[in-house]
Structures are given as C-alpha cells and as structure tokens.
C-alpha cells in the first residue's frame, strides 16, 4: 500500500523558514514524479511544485519561485520542500502527492494527510 | 497560466439523483483533466483522469466526458458517501491549475 507521511509544519513568523518532509513507502519512490500541493484554510487546492524522477527536473508556481526549493532523497524515499522568506499568504495545509508517471505533466494520487504551515507574527 | 472555472460552486442534491459538475479551461487542454473528491479534514482522492478514465476502485456511477475546453463530471445514482467537494485539475502544462471546487450537498 502506498503511504505518504508529511512532517515539518508549524508556526513561523513572516520571513522565516521551514523544511517539510514527506516519507514515502509502498512503491519505488525514485521512479515517480512527486509534488507539493497546498490548501489555505477553507479554500481550494493550489499546486506548489513538482519534481520528476531521474535527474529531478523541478517546477514551481510563480509566487514561490526563488523562495521554495523542492528536492528528493531517493535513498531515503523522502520528498522535501525547503521554504524560505515565508509570507502570511503561504499559510496552508501542504500535501505531498504521488504521480502515476516518471516524467511529464500528470495528475496525482494518492496524497498524504498533509502538514499545516502557519505564517503569522 | 491556464485558468479553470468550475460550476456550480454549490450543488444541492438528494440520494439517487444524477448530477453534473462542469469545468471550463481558458484554453484547450486536450483531454488532460482529472477530477478529485475531497471530504472535510481529508486529502483529495482522484476519481477520473484523462478526462474520462475511471481510477481503479472508484464506483462506476462516476464518469467524465469532454475535451478541449469543456469537461463534465457526472455522478449517477448519488450515494451518501458521494457528498463532498469536487475539484478539476488540468495537466496540459507543467504549471498545474485546479478549479475552485464544487461543494455537493444534501
């Protein structure tokens, strides 16, 4: 059974940093595209970033470019998101999600349970 | 970025009804569209991918149709477990976008 377990969320002040982790199991992690998708409280879904398998090409939404970095450690079957210079508008539940493909544009399933990031002074 | 517009925002229905949820793309996305179901406090689950392919394990009362810019999620013979929020997602490009969601209520 595929399992994705996020961690690393919490309360941080504007301008602060956090690193999210997503521990994966039940599949060959290195062979699949992985993504982070967020959901602000009471709002809809918003794609944040994607990383492909292999050489790990990365993609970001414009509002996080230069502040967030997605990376993966295939030896640990873990996906990460380094988040710097956090803003109030980054407050959301961050979900880790697996794609059914190794590369290319895709849909996502399954998703982890999410980790809450709150940016507030 | 490609904009995705869902309608309606809220849909009231009863057990046994058939409902349609529409998603429109701001430009053609071929058949690169997925539908997700999300219940309160839970992560989304995919129900349809490639516009009309049913994800394994999803009941056959769910179906999807459309291509280009207009897509529909159809749920036939609604069951109590189907009341949730539904989102569409385009994956025509590597900059993904979701619709704003449709809340399906009793």
Mean pLDDT of A55-71: 96
CA B35 remoteness from chain centre:
4
Asked whether the beta carbons of residue B46 and residue A109 sit closer than 8 angstroms, the reply is yes
Residue pair A95/A8 in contact (Cβ under 8 Å)? The answer is no
Taking only the tens place, the pLDDT of each residue in B3-50 is 999 999 999 999 999 999 999 999 999 999 999 999 999 999 999 999
pLDDT exceeds 90 at position A105: no
* pLDDT tier, A103 (very low <50, low <70, confident <90, very high otherwise): confident
pLDDT for the residue A23: 98
CB neighbour class for A44 (10 Å; exposed up to 12, middle 13-18, buried from 19): middle
CA distance B10 to chain A (A): 13
* pLDDT tier, B80 (very low <50, low <70, confident <90, very high otherwise): very high
Nearest CA among A109, A84, A66 for reference residue A20:
A84
Asked whether the beta carbons of residue A107 and residue B87 sit closer than 8 angstroms, the reply is no
Least confident of A7-11, A24-28, A50-54, B48-52: A50-54
Half-sphere exposure of A116 toward its Cβ, with a 13 Å CA cutoff? 7
Residues of A in contact with B44 (CB under 8 A): 45, 95, 111
How big is the A-B interface in CB pairs under 8 Å? 56
CA A72 remoteness from chain centre:
10
Sequence-distant (6+) residues with CB within 8 A of A38 are: A45, A46, A48, A90, A92, A93, A94, A95, A117
pLDDT for the residue B88: 98
- How far is the C-alpha of B98 from the C-alpha of A121, rounded, in Å? 30
pLDDT for the residue A33: 95
Asked whether the beta carbons of residue B95 and residue A95 sit closer than 8 angstroms, the reply is no
* Per-chain mean pLDDT for chain A: 96
pLDDT for the residue A116: 98
Asked whether the beta carbons of residue B43 and residue A95 sit closer than 8 angstroms, the reply is yes
HEC readout, A15-68: CCCEEEEEEEECCCHHHCCEEEEEECCCCCEEEEEEECCCCCCEEECHHHCCCE
Using alpha carbons only, give the angle B12, B59, B103 rounded to the nearest 5 degrees. Answer: 25
pLDDT for the residue B21: 98
If you measure CA to CA, which chain A residue comes closest to B41?
Answer: A113
Residues of A in contact with B43 (CB under 8 A): 95, 110-114
Taking only the tens place, the pLDDT of each residue in A5-17 is 999 999 999 999 9
pLDDT for the residue A72: 96
* Residues paired with A17 in a beta bridge: none
Asked whether the beta carbons of residue A44 and residue B99 sit closer than 8 angstroms, the reply is yes
* pLDDT tier, A52 (very low <50, low <70, confident <90, very high otherwise): very high
CA distance B17 to chain A (A): 25
- How far is the C-alpha of A92 from the C-alpha of B2, rounded, in Å? 22
Percentage, residues of chain A above pLDDT 70: 100
pLDDT exceeds 90 at position A101: no
pLDDT for the residue A55: 83
pLDDT for the residue A104: 84
- How far is the C-alpha of A34 from the C-alpha of B6, rounded, in Å? 25
- How far is the C-alpha of B84 from the C-alpha of A67, rounded, in Å? 33
**Mutant choice from A97, A99, A106, A107 vs B, greatest count of B C-beta within 10 A:** A107
């Amino acid at each position: 059974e595929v399992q994705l377990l996020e961690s690393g969320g919490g309360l941080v002040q504007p301008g602060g940093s956090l690193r999210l982790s997503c521990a994966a199991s039940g599949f060959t992690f290195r062979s699949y595209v992985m993504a982070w998708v967020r959901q602000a409280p009471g709002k809809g879904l918003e794609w944040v970033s994607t990383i492909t398998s292999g050489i790990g090409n990365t993609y970001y939404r414009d509002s996080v470019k230069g502040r967030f970095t997605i990376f993966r450690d295939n030896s640990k079957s873990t996906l990460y998101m380094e988040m710097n210079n956090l803003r109030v508008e980054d407050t959301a539940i961050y979900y880790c999600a697996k794609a059914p493909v190794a590369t290319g544009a895709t849909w996502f399933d399954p998703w982890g349970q999410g980790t809450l990031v709150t940016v507030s002074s | 970025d490609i904009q995705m517009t869902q309608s309606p925002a809220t849909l009231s229905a009863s057990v046994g009804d058939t409902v349609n949820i529409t998603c429109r793309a701001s430009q053609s996305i071929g058949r690169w569209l997925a539908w997700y179901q999300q219940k309160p406090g839970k992560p989304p689950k995919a129900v349809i991918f490639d516009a009309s392919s049913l994800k394994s394990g999803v009941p056959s009362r769910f179906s999807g149709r459309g291509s280009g810019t207009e897509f529909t999620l159809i749920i036939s013979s609604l069951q109590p477990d189907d009341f949730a929020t539904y989102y569409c997602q385009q994956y025509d490009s590597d900059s993904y976008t979701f619709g704003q969601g449709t809340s399906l209520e009793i």
